Structure 1
Amino acid sequence: MGNLDFGNPVFATYAISAGSMILLVVATAWITVVQMMRHKGGFRAPEDLRKTPLNPAPDPSQTAPLEPVERFRRIMQNHLENIPFFLVAGFLFVLTDPSVQLAQWLLFGYAASRVLHFFAYASAQVHDIRATFWTVGSAIIIAMTVMVISAAISAL
């Protein structure tokens, strides 16, 4: 089994990919907030309608769904339904001691598929494009998980 440190190129590949995915999720949260501020709406909670320096003229319509905000909320939901599985599966995959080339193809491939999915969703591309990028990422998670299970069974 490879070492879990940055001297191990497989672990370093995982760290880059995982870190990139964490930054993507956090960036999506910030983009959602920027959209809410830009459009002065799409707020969720009743207390968001209180008068504040950032919302000097609250209006009840500000809690109505607003498509530019909801789009990024949907992207965030999709991230939260997929990326945690990658973080776990990718880490366990590192423990199988794969070749560096295989690890880079799978781990960087997953990260690329999610970034492309983000841009396709953010730019309102047709479902088929988003679904293609999602499918690539999902297939990578499945492949890594099968390799993890196989390695674990072999170790018994």
Structure 2
Amino acid sequence: MNSFTLANPVFAAYAIAASLMVLKIMGQGWVTVYRMLKIGGGYASPEDLKAGMINKNPRPEQLEVNDYVDRSRRMHRNDLENIPAFLIAGLLFVAVDPDLLLAQILFYGFVISRLLHAIAYATKQSHEMRATFYTIGSVIVIYLAIHVLVVAIARAAG
């Protein structure tokens, strides 16, 4: 069977998890834009102070860091630092034909850990709380990569 079709339940699980994570990355960007527009500030670049349809009355203080906007920006950056590794390691994991239950636990465990991390970040929980959810997701990605590496080395050795 071709590993990379939806007829493969492992790939289907990956496709669901990966799609949710892509939506998380893209959605967080839109949340940041919404927050900037809502408060009319927290802009990141000097050119954001050019007058236009959205920013009719630019002011220098619009470039000041605003925690409401910046928190969302930090969450987005965190997603961009973590989710791509999952997307790559998860796809490689599909290629080594893993057990379906193991794949589902790892893929959906990563999604849940990232969603809990986002909730903890958005609600201003402690660093330890965020770090717990980050660690769970990180360990999952590391496991995926090591599993692929071990299987690939074993198959290469013949």
Alignment partners' CA distance in 2, 1:51 and 1:141: 44
Q: CA deviation at 1:47?
A: 1.8
User: Could you say which residue in structure 2 is the equivalent of 1:96?
Assistant: 96
User: Could you say which residue in structure 2 is the equivalent of 1:52?
Assistant: 52
Amino acid across the alignment from 2:112: A
Q: CA deviation at 1:33?
A: 0.3
Q: CA deviation at 1:3?
A: 2.1
SS state of the match for residue 124, structure 2?
Answer: coil
User: Could you say which residue in structure 2 is the equivalent of 1:108?
Assistant: 108
Q: CA deviation at 1:122?
A: 1.0
Q: What's the TM-score once normalised by structure 2's chain length?
A: 0.95
Alignment partners' CA distance in 1, 2:78 and 2:53: 32
User: Could you say which residue in structure 2 is the equivalent of 1:28?
Assistant: 28
The question of whether the paired residues in 2 share the 8 Å contact of 1:2 and 1:94 is answered with no
User: Could you say which residue in structure 2 is the equivalent of 1:17?
Assistant: 17
User: Between the two proteins, what is the percent identity of the paired residues?
Assistant: 46
Q: Does 1:130 align with 2:156?
A: no
Please list, as runs of the form range in 1=range in 2, the aligned pairs for 1:78-93 lying within 5 A after superposition.
78-93=78-93
Alignment partners' CA distance in 1, 2:55 and 2:3: 51
Q: CA deviation at 1:52?
A: 1.6
User: Could you say which residue in structure 2 is the equivalent of 1:146?
Assistant: 146
Alignment partners' CA distance in 1, 2:3 and 2:72: 38
The question of whether the paired residues in 1 share the 8 Å contact of 2:3 and 2:94 is answered with no
Amino acid across the alignment from 1:14: Y
SS state of the match for residue 5, structure 1?
Answer: coil
Q: How many residues align?
A: 156
* Post-superposition CA distance 1:94-119 (Å, at most 9, x none): 11111110000000100110011111
* Post-superposition CA distance 1:97-150 (Å, at most 9, x none): 111100000001001100111111011111111111000000101111111000
Amino acid across the alignment from 1:126: S
**Greater shift after overlay, 40-49 or 102-111?**
40-49
Alignment partners' CA distance in 2, 1:118 and 1:127: 12
Alignment partners' CA distance in 2, 1:93 and 1:2: 14
Q: CA deviation at 1:2?
A: 5.3
Alignment partners' CA distance in 1, 2:47 and 2:143: 45
CA RMSD, Structure 1 to Structure 2 (Å): 1.0
The question of whether the paired residues in 2 share the 8 Å contact of 1:75 and 1:121 is answered with yes
Give structure 2 stretches of 5+ with no counterpart. Answer: none
Q: What's the TM-score once normalised by structure 1's chain length?
A: 0.97
The question of whether the paired residues in 1 share the 8 Å contact of 2:49 and 2:60 is answered with yes
Alignment partners' CA distance in 2, 1:135 and 1:2: 33
